[in-house]
Amino acid sequence: MRILIVTDIEGVASVVHPEQTREGNAEYEIARRWMTREASAAVCGAFDGGASEVRVNDSHGSYRNLLADELDPRARLVHGKPRTLGMMGGLEAGFAGVMLVGFHSRAQTQGVLAHTINSAAFARVWLNGKELGEAGLYGALAGELGVPVIFASGDDIFAGETRPLFPHCVFTVTKQATGRHSAISLSPQASCEAIRAGARQAMAAIGPASPLLLDTPVQARLQTQTPAHADLFCQWPALERIDGVTLQFSAASVEHALRMLNCLSAMASALR
């Protein structure tokens, strides 16, 4: 069985502040090592549970965070951007399940460092009338490719909002959110141990797990952080403006909807 592990950093144990997620400072260098160790723990759990091949997708920021020389050497690393499937890069063919490690809750929630794709640009995102965060958006992309999400780790707010989307998924809670920049966290070592055990347990859930499927064409709605972002995004003729900060568009598939959202995210840099 081939498994794709998708990694983010905001849900990693002991990560609570933006400085820990941004390149160029000492706290980030420590946090990326914790991120790498949690990824390796999931790799170990997947192989413990019978995986034949594991790919690890680096999916935070620049997609260049994981320390390749400290990652479990049995895994193959997917990193760098841009890539067509974004956070699901590497899933193009033949996988039995996806594991989400270090994930966070969607924007406008009480989770640690909560956001959706781009915290500076997007306030809320809906597909087919359902508000989704990154786990839901990319879980639906995996579902479109026939692959279920079988494991996820992050804070308790993330687990609570995501569990209904993936009822057969095993969740490991790495910390309890007490604010946007505060939490009661497992130690990095305890988090890795819990992730390895959860990933191993999740391998047994591949049979009953079902992919998250959305009807197509997909109707996407987006609330921007400011009217200026809506002004910018509506230069793209495919977008229809509903009000000062709300836009909508139709896409042939979840993949196409996410590719459009990621392009809008890149466009937002023009306003920085």
CATH of segment(s) 2-203: 3.40.50.10780
Helix, strand and coil percent figures for the chain, each rounded to 5: 35, 25, 40
CATH 3.40.50.10780 range(s) for the chain read 2-203
Tokens matching residue 68: 């390749």
Tokens matching residue 11: 């849900």
Tokens matching residue 191: 């988090």
Do residues 112 and 11 make contact, with C-beta atoms less than 8 angstroms apart?
yes
The ranges of the chain with pLDDT < 70 are: none
CA angle in degrees (0–180, nearest 5) for 77-79-82: 150
> Do the bridges between strand 122-127 and strand 130-131 make them parallel or antiparallel, or are there none, so unpaired?
antiparallel
Interacting residues of 224 by C-beta distance below 8 A, sequence separation 6+: 121, 122, 123, 230, 233, 245, 246, 247
Measure the CA–CA gap between 248 and 11, rounded to whole angstroms.
Answer: 29
Do residues 161 and 109 make contact, with C-beta atoms less than 8 angstroms apart?
yes
Do residues 77 and 66 make contact, with C-beta atoms less than 8 angstroms apart?
yes
Q: Which uninterrupted H or E stretch holds 174?
A: strand 170-179
Q: What is the pLDDT of residue 198?
A: 98
203-257 pLDDT, tens digit each: 987 888 899 999 999 999 999 999 999 999 999 999 999 999 999 999 999 999 9
Q: What is the pLDDT of residue 186?
A: 98
Half-sphere exposure of 146 (CA within 13 A, CB side): 5
Q: What is the pLDDT of residue 94?
A: 85
According to DSSP, residue 104 is labeled: -
Q: What is the pLDDT of residue 202?
A: 97
Query: Long-range contacts of range 72-77, CB-CB < 8 Å, 24 or more positions apart?
Result: 72/39, 72/40, 72/43, 72/44, 74/43, 74/47, 75/5, 75/39, 75/40, 75/43
Q: What is the pLDDT of residue 205?
A: 79
